[in-house]
Amino acid sequence: MNFTNMDIISMKDFSRDMIDHILNVAEELEPVARGEKRSNIFSNVLLSLLFFEPSTRTRMSFESAIIRGGGNVLNLGSLEASSISKGETLADTIRVVEGYADAIVLRHPKEGAARMAAEYSSVPIINAGDGAGQHPTQTLLDLYTIKRESVLDGVKIAIAGDLKYGRTAHSLCYALSLYGAEINLVSPDSLQMPEEIVNDLRGQNINVYQTSVMEEVIEDIDVLYATRIQKERFPDVTEYEKVAASLKITPGLLDKAKIDLKVMHPLPRVNEIDASIDNTNHACYFKQSFYGVPVRMALLSLVMGRLK
């Protein structure tokens, strides 16, 4: 399997074999990501981070990955002070920056920006989120977390929250379909998973169950993946508070769950998960956030040809 110079744009570009390979490499690199083992895997590497909208965690996670491996980063800096504020196109920015770096991590508010950037760049482009579109490194770190903390093959998962607009949930569902997952979708009626995605999943013989009641699924699942519900999706605050309360993960809810149930969340959370769960064995969201480092390290080392 050769990833050298491959662009990382969308989960739709990955086969199960490719994902398995990335997750295996991530596991090998985990001690480096933790700072327990020194590595020069990225010696003489310059990674450019082009973040056209803020995403502190994703950016820091990429920085950690490259610096832990002995490489360096070039940051775009403030947009106001750059050529972009003078009206430069993304196509031009990419053609300039490709001359400065060995790979480019791009976050951009327009959907499809990363795919376009890849057409203009001779160095690999890694999509760190394009508008409401794709964010493949988030999905890969979610899969890695499930693999490390639970079981990925045939996992029984509940994904809760805003499933209509949440790209994290959409992308994760597609990826889990490669692993024969049993998927429970928990959301208020107004924020249900788009029908086309549910039909696609069922077309791949994936068991999909939709409900608005968390208690219906909590006893049977291995992983509970909570996502943020945004206030502005609701006509009034009372409706929002009602829905948010019905999906809130509390100690009382988890009393009914399997003892080894893992709770995940892409973070930042607002009040989807009661803080008293943080110190239980169920809490997995801070580990999940860390796992972004070995996964991004694995991707970068593969696309830059440092590992095979």
Partner 1 sequence: MINTTKKNGIRVQPIKNGTVIDHIQAGQALNVLKILDIPGTSQGTVSILINAPGKGVRKDVVKIEGRELESKEVDKISLIAPNATINIIRDFDVVQKQRVKIPKFIEEFVRCINPNCISNSREPIISKFYVTNNMPGNIYLRCKYCEKTIDENIADYLH
Q: Which is nearer to partner 1, 119 or 219 (CB)?
A: 119
Within 10 angstroms of residue 121's Cβ, the number of other Cβ atoms is: 20
Please identify, among the stretches 31-39, 124-132, 275-283, 298-306, the one whose residues bind partner 1 according to the rule CB under 8 A. 124-132
Helix (H) or strand (E) holding 25: helix 16-33
Q: How far is the CB of 98 from partner 1 (least distance, A)?
A: 16
Q: Which of residues 67-106 bind partner 1 (CB under 8 A)?
A: 89-91
CA-based nearest residue to 120, from 95, 93, 103, 97:
95
Residue 132 near partner 1 by CB under 8 A: yes
From 46-54, 129-137, 207-215, 279-287, give the range in contact with partner 1 by CB under 8 A. Answer: 129-137
Instruction: Say if residues 47 and 73 touch (Cβ distance below 8 Å).
Output: yes
Q: How far is the CB of 130 from partner 1 (least distance, A)?
A: 8
User: How many other C-beta atoms can be found within 10 angstroms of the C-beta atom of residue 42?
Assistant: 24
- Strand 103-108 with 125-130, pairing: parallel
In angstroms, give the least distance from the CB of 87 to partner 1. Answer: 9
Distance CA 53, CA 167 (A): 17
Q: Which two tokens stand for residue 200?
A: 């696609």
Nearer to partner 1, 90 or 141 (CB): 90
Per CB under 8 A, contacts with partner 1 among 8-37 are: 10, 12
Asked if 115 interacts with partner 1 (CB under 8 A), we say yes
Q: Are 247 and 186 in contact (CB under 8 A)?
A: yes
Question: Which residues lie near partner 1 (CB under 8 A)?
Answer: 10, 12, 89-91, 108-113, 115-116, 119, 130-134, 196
